[in-house]
Amino acid sequence: MITKSITKNLRLAAILSVFTGIATIIGCNNPIEGIERGNPPLEAGSQKIVVNTTSDDASALSNYTVKVTDPSGTDSELAATSGTLEIGSLSTGNYTIEVIKDGYVGQSGDLTVELPEDESSDYEVAIDLELTKLADPVPVDNSTGGQVGTNSGGRTNAVTMVLDIPGNAIPGTGTTDIGLTALPVLNTNPNDPSSFAFAITPLTLTLTQPSTITFDLPQALINLGVSFILKGVDGTEVPVTVDAANKQGSADITKFGIYGLALDVSITKTADVQTRSAQGNCGEDLNTTVEGKATMGAIFAQLKGKTNRSLSKTVKVQKSGQPFFQIKGTASIQRVGYTITSGNATIESGFSGFGGAKVEYSSKECHDSGG
């Protein structure tokens, strides 16, 4: 016969056993049904491209399009209703972003997305683009021709341009509304020809005979002594005549569109290695620096807005010494160079900067060790 005391003890043991099991389940950090109870999964981070768009006429932005080309080359278009648009679902790689709006000339830019490995991390990269309102057009009589300037319609631009259209150059009869608009560019260095661009509307209008566009040229560009071209977005290339005395350039065009000023040259990237050596005293540490040197040419420096054409790179040469031995370090410094050519002639060669550097060490016995 079981006594009440024994029965009571058994009941207490059973209760303790149940509570111990519950505590084990609650405190367990092992996965249950694939979920780590002690380390819950984090939600995905905010990873986005922010497109900031402005207009040169300070008008409210609405109903414009943002075209996105992703790293795979796939194009997509997004409708934007304000000056800021966020793009998600990103991939690592290079993107091209373009803003488009009727009555404006859009702008495009490239950026690189480098997503963090941890998907819960936040990531953001921004690009600033501008929509340029097309200048108010001027009616031109097709039979008599006329002149259109960038200041027409009350619009003022930093670069003065004039388009002279001869009679009967515009096909058809009556009048045609012609507009000439100076465009902003991502490169703001006035000494670089790519800082100058313009649009003539109606875009893609083909003339029956050339019209001449004349524009200001900075003295710094004239001083380069090289040839220029107008390059259209459709690949059209038109030679530019330079009038150094009046600081102007001119070109005869037969097709309206968007053009930019460019050097009529090719720039080829080159590289070489410069060697610099240093050696320590017998039995002592080697602890010094060597310097790589290079010179940037006048034309390239002008294009990049650089005033200092002397380039240098300092490399540390350090190694612990040993008794009776002399340490020598030899640095191989990579220099990044270029060659500017026009036709078959080389106009300038020089260096634009430095790449990597490596240091190799050697030692030699510097006096009798007594061995």
- 65 near 55, Cβ under 8 Å? no
| Sequence-ordered list of residues with C-beta below 8 angstroms from that of 335, at least 6 positions apart, any chain | 271, 272, 273, 274, 292, 294, 351, 353, 354, 355
* C-alpha to C-alpha distance for 332 and 309, rounded to whole angstroms: 22
Distances (CA, A) of 145 to 23, 220, 257: 94, 34, 18
Residues pairing with 93 in the sheet:
113
Residue 53 burial class via C-beta count within 10 angstroms: exposed 0-12, middle 13-18, buried 19 and up: buried
Q: Is the dihedral of CA 253, 255, 260, 266 positive or negative?
A: negative
* C-alpha to C-alpha distance for 190 and 107, rounded to whole angstroms: 19
pLDDT in tens, 294-324: 999 988 887 777 888 999 999 999 999 889 9
Query: Which structural domains are found in the chain, ordered by start?
Result: 47-132 (2.60.40.10), 138-264 (2.60.220.30), 267-365 (no CATH)
pTM above 0.85, yes or no: no
- 295 near 351, Cβ under 8 Å? yes
* C-alpha to C-alpha distance for 15 and 133, rounded to whole angstroms: 82
Q: Would you state the pLDDT for residue 194?
A: 55
Q: Would you state the pLDDT for residue 11?
A: 42
Average pLDDT over residues 12-23: 41
Q: Would you state the pLDDT for residue 361?
A: 93
* C-alpha to C-alpha distance for 36 and 237, rounded to whole angstroms: 64
- Token readout for 318 is 């350090």
Instruction: Please tell me whether the peptide bond between 202 and the residue prior to it is cis, using omega within 30 degrees of 0.
Output: yes
pLDDT in tens, 332-356: 999 999 998 877 788 899 999 999 9
Q: Would you state the pLDDT for residue 184?
A: 64
Q: Would you state the pLDDT for residue 51?
A: 94
Q: Would you state the pLDDT for residue 313?
A: 94
pLDDT at 23 over 50: no
pLDDT in tens, 148-169: 987 543 344 456 789 999 999 9
* C-alpha to C-alpha distance for 131 and 66, rounded to whole angstroms: 11
Q: Would you state the pLDDT for residue 303?
A: 74
| Sequence-ordered list of residues with C-beta below 8 angstroms from that of 9, at least 6 positions apart, any chain | none
Task: Give the least confident one: 40-44, 130-134, 197-201.
Answer: 40-44
Q: Would you state the pLDDT for residue 358?
A: 93
* C-alpha to C-alpha distance for 157 and 188, rounded to whole angstroms: 15
pLDDT-above-90 percentage for the chain: 51
- Token readout for 348 is 């300038």
H-helix or E-strand containing 341? strand 325-342
Residues pairing with 107 in the sheet:
99
SS3 assignment for 223-248: CCCCCEEEEECCCCEEECEEECCCCE
Q: Would you state the pLDDT for residue 2?
A: 40
Distances (CA, A) of 309 to 240, 263, 274, 338: 28, 20, 18, 14
For residue 338, which of 286, 308, 294, 369 has the smallest C-alpha distance?
A: 294
pLDDT in tens, 120-138: 788 999 999 988 888 889 9
H-helix or E-strand containing 14? helix 4-27
H-helix or E-strand containing 216? strand 206-216
pLDDT in tens, 232-261: 888 899 999 999 999 999 999 999 999 988
pLDDT in tens, 85-117: 999 999 999 999 999 998 888 888 899 999 888
Phi, psi of 194 (to 5 degrees): -70, 0
Q: Would you state the pLDDT for residue 15?
A: 39
Q: Provide the residue count of the chain.
A: 371
- Token readout for 266 is 């090719």
| Sequence-ordered list of residues with C-beta below 8 angstroms from that of 250, at least 6 positions apart, any chain | 212, 213, 214, 215, 240, 241, 243
- 214 near 161, Cβ under 8 Å? yes
Query: pLDDT band for position 185 (50/70/90)?
Result: low
Query: pLDDT band for position 182 (50/70/90)?
Result: confident
Maximum average pLDDT range among 54-68, 181-195, 277-291? 277-291
Residues pairing with 30 in the sheet:
none
- Token readout for 93 is 């790689």
Phi, psi of 25 (to 5 degrees): -65, -45
